Amino acid sequence: MPPCEATVRQADSVIIIYLKGSMTLAGGIGTLRQQVKAAVAAGQKKVLVNLKELSYLDSAGMGELVSACSTLRNLGGDLRLVSPQDRVRNLLNMTKLSDIFVVFFNEQVALHSFTT
């Protein structure tokens, strides 16, 4: 599996991070952290992580998501997830991380949630 790559775009006051590949201890760890760090440095505290093309994450990858979410919430912001593949969604459910994250299946609905 190829390591995680990220592309970023901004939609109003929300930074959208598109993750692709796999986020595991073997590769891709730090990708999300770097993007969140850059967003915070730019004064952005609302982050939407699009998981549509993230094919796999292990416990280290899950830790990366939790860490990014904690960082943003501690700063008064939030991190939300959109479009997880079945495999990733099942991992989030099995580990009960789906209780921590707000997960959406439509990017527009997810973006709108930051304004309500």
The pLDDT tens digits for 69-109 are 999 999 999 999 999 999 999 999 999 998 999 999 999 99
Binned at pLDDT 50, 70 and 90, residue 3 comes out as confident
Superfamily the domain 5-113 falls into? STAS domain (3.30.750.24)
59 burial via Cβ count (<10 Å: 0-12, 13-18, 19+):
exposed
Adjacent-strand bridge partners of 8? 17
Residue 57 near residue 23, CB atoms below 8 Å: yes
pTM, rounded to two decimals? 0.95
Residue 97 near residue 64, CB atoms below 8 Å: no
The pLDDT tens digits for 29-78 are 899 999 999 999 999 999 999 999 999 999 999 999 999 999 999 999 99
Binned at pLDDT 50, 70 and 90, residue 27 comes out as confident
Domain parsing of the chain, residue ranges? 5-113
Q: Residue 116 and residue 3: Cα distance in Å, rounded? A: 35
